[in-house]
């Protein structure tokens, strides 16, 4: 999706002084943006959730190493 398409879908909220205070983004667009931010399509890596348990992070890393060994 190109920037012009994104900009045409968002709406700005202003206060009584005419100052922009917030942006409204359609849910579908928001989900697409979050998906593109949370993964790197070049490397295939996904951002790590810092709240995720260390054991789960280790399990994901071990699975990634196993998959790399197979390829």
Average confidence (pLDDT) over 5-13: 91
Task: Render 5-70 in DSSP notation, one character per residue.
Answer: HHHHH-EEEE-TTS-EEEEE--HHHHHHHHHHHSB-TTT--B---TTS-HHHHHHHHHHHHHHHHH
What local confidence, expressed as pLDDT, does residue 36 receive? 74
Whether residue 45 has pLDDT greater than 70: no
Please state the pTM of the whole predicted model.
0.48
Cβ–Cβ under 8 Å, residues 26 and 9: yes
Residue boundaries of the structural domains of the chain: 1-37, 42-71
* Other CB atoms within 10 A of residue 39 CB: 13
């Amino acid at each position: 999706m190109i920037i012009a398409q994104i900009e045409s879908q968002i709406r700005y909220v202003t206060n009584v002084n005419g100052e922009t205070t917030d942006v409204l983004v359609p849910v579908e667009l928001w989900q697409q943006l979050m998906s593109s931010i949370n993964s790197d399509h070049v490397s295939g890596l996904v951002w790590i959730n810092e709240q995720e348990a260390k054991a789960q992070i280790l399990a994901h890393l071990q699975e990634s190493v196993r998959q790399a060994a197979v390829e």
